[in-house]
Amino acid sequence: MKHQLQQEQVIQLDFSEEMKISFRDYAMSVIVARAIPDVRDGLKPVQRRILYSMIELGLDPNKPHRKSARIVGDTMGKYHPHGDNSIYDALVHMSEDYSLMVPLVDGHGNFGSIDGDGAAAMRYTEARLSPGAMALLDHLEKGLIDFKPNFDNSEKEPVVLPAMVPNLLINGTTGIAVGMATNIPPHNPDEVIEGVIAYMDNPDITTQELMNYIPAPDFPTGGTIINVDDMAKIYETGEGKIRIRAKAEIENGDYGRKNIVITEIPYTVAGNKTKLVESLSALIKDKVFDEIHDVRDESSKEGIRIVIEVKKDRDIENLLNGLYKKTVMEDTYSVNLLAIKDQQPVIFSLKGLIQEFVDFQVEIYTKEYNYLLDKAEKRLEVVEGLIKATDVIDLIIEVLRGSSSVKQAKACLMEGNTDDIKFKSEASKKEAATFSFTERQADAILAMQLSKLIGLEILKLHDEEGNLRDSIKEYEKVLGSKKELFKVIKQRLNEYKKIFHSHRKTMLINTKSEDYVEEIKVEDKYVLIDRFGYTKSLDSASISRVLEENLKEYKYIIQMKNTDRLCCFTDGGNMFQVKAENIPRCKMKDRGALIQTLCKLDKEEVILYTSFEQLFESQLLFVTRNGYIKQVSGAEFETNHSQISATKLEEGDKVIGITLLSAGDVLANNQKVIILTDNGLSLGFPLSEVSELKKNSRGVRAIKLDKDDKVCFGIAVNQSTETFEYNDKVYNAKKVRMRKRADKGQKAKL
């Protein structure tokens, strides 16, 4: 029996299905109850609970501040059992004037700073509600919104606050949920309220027409939005990217320098200004911008002031372009107008957000005026009863004196029941039997003070009756016409507009990010390469101090500009490039770096080193092992790639000779080509017989070779040249027999 009971208590579930359901429930809980704001009041649950706890504690703007720890404790204990850190972080955020256009909390003490400093512990800080929060909390006692049980059913909390300003658009919000996120930028209060009123005047207004009132977000930190043309699409779709720039001014500095002064930072850096200053300082350390002399932060309570000192005679506009490109002085704000409506996340357009706010206003103002109407009608009922009572006050006093209990007197006032009441005369009893006061009137009469019988007080009652009738008429008029209701909403919005008035802080322009042109001071340098391939560079001043004897150990000494490139041609038919700036700048005694590490050479042997500037203005003569030859213009090798193919080779072939020829030598037609083979044959012919071809061609036959013979040497020299070197031996150039290209070579003792 026990075994059977245990089996009945086992519930079998599909693991994947349970995970799916549990994760879905968790995701919806995070979306609806944690991270995404309600479209009506623009608040997340934790923010709403903090503000409600504060109003319960009586922390109005005109009341003293209270310890933040008390506020956090009340909020956590009554409404938000998710940890004190999350509550305190939300409380601090609602006090940040650099995050919100209209802060909701008035903080007292160290609540952090725009630099990125954190707030002090909650036991040290104090807070109270700001006027902005009261615009969300006013009229809470009028029953305008619904309440729900808290997490343990011990308290009631508001489902939404009776917000009478469009808080979601004015203050914006950021939140990351499961599978979605919201990122609503803050806007100017004046502009948003004007946009709401424009929608109420014309519900068919287009997004483009709304942008006449709300052209773009307005960030508390100022800055400049540089892609205003994109705002129409962003406001229409509810998604997009805004480009924000810091506001920078150019001032005269010391010693003839110019300074770039940052006075406003992008909203994305708000709360982390120190990081911006540190990133600017790192530009000097990492030598990203040679133009910057110094960076310092001179910010104070008066405002932000970050000074970038620029070296003398530098292009400041170009430097600014570089700073916008490589730092967060220009940043992207990703807009996602996501909010909760009817317990579901929805992406809204600008008009959609305004429409939801107006619909909410119609709802709460209708409830407010119904509340006021009901209150006025109840009061009018009482006042009418008191006025009626003053006319028969003597009889009422007689009833009270003749009654044995309040219940008996009240029954007489309401129903004319005179049983067991002692009257002075039968006439009084007969008149008392005509009483028909309502219960509310009877209670008011029984509670009335004798001072109300003074003539002036009676006049006040008559005045109050007139005022109540006028008010009731006005309330009924508002409730009976949407136009009149809108008039009341607009009037109150204009009052809030005066309270929260703010000039636009963020400038609006349309511009594209300009490219930064790196400023490089052009100067001569010398590249030294020894026979082992170790490479280094020296400036002109350094090499002038080196003894000529010490330079003999270097196989190649190439003069070039620091903006130039070192070109390396290999026997594998490839050309490698190394930027001059990447060649180690060393002292003469230093060894340098292997050329293989600078340009990723593998096992190929370098035949020719030259600067690209010299190469571009020259001709190259290629001679291969299989006896092919060609001329190629140096301009053919212009490329940004670090490695390209310099010539086409047959399988098994390789380059054995490359000669750099000046354009003047080629035009003078005074050059001859000398070819040597493994079998000791030599051949000479004029350079003019060699065709100029493209670099990707194989070339033409230079010499007729036997099957077992290969070319071992090829060079172009001046006709007057007497000797040439090969394999560390000197040969007589005059003894080379001159014949036609592609002839068979001749044995000769050179």
Distance between CA atoms of residues 310 and 315, nearest Å: 9
Strand-pair partners of 133: none
Half-sphere exposure of 158 (CA within 13 A, CB side): 28
- Residue for token digits 């309401």? 414
Name the burial class of residue 254, with classes exposed (0-12), middle (13-18) and buried (19+) by CB atoms within 10 angstroms of its CB: exposed
Phi-psi region of 406 (alpha: psi -120 to 50; beta: other; left: phi over 0): alpha
Distance between CA atoms of residues 426 and 418, nearest Å: 11
Closest Cα partner for 411 from 435, 431, 378?
A: 435
Distance between CA atoms of residues 461 and 384, nearest Å: 8
Q: Which residues of 327-362 are buried (b: 16+ CB within 10 A; e: fewer)?
A: bbbbbebebbbbbbeeeebeebbbbbbbbbbbebbe
Chain Cα centroid distance, residue 282: 21
174 touches 160 (CB < 8 A): no
396 Cβ contact list (under 8 Å, min separation 6):
389, 413, 445
Helices 350-391 and 439-447 meet at what angle, rounded to 10?
60
End-to-end CA distance of the chain: give it in Å, rounded: 116
Chain Cα centroid distance, residue 451: 68
Identified catalytic residue from 52, 79, 88, 124: 124
Judge whether 526 counts as a catalytic residue.
no
Distance between CA atoms of residues 584 and 450, nearest Å: 106
Q: Which residues of 184-202 are buried (b: 16+ CB within 10 A; e: fewer)?
A: bbbbbbbbbbbbbbbbbee
Q: For 318, phi and psi rounded to 5 degrees?
A: -65, -40
Q: What is the DSSP letter of 227?
A: B
Distance between CA atoms of residues 448 and 445, nearest Å: 5
709 touches 678 (CB < 8 A): yes
253 Cβ contact list (under 8 Å, min separation 6):
259, 309, 310
Distance between CA atoms of residues 662 and 687, nearest Å: 13
Strand-pair partners of 622: 630, 658
Distance between CA atoms of residues 514 and 685, nearest Å: 55
Distance between CA atoms of residues 240 and 217, nearest Å: 13
User: Which tokens sit at 415?
Assistant: 């129903």
User: Which tokens sit at 422?
Assistant: 């002692």
Catalytic (active-site) positions: 124
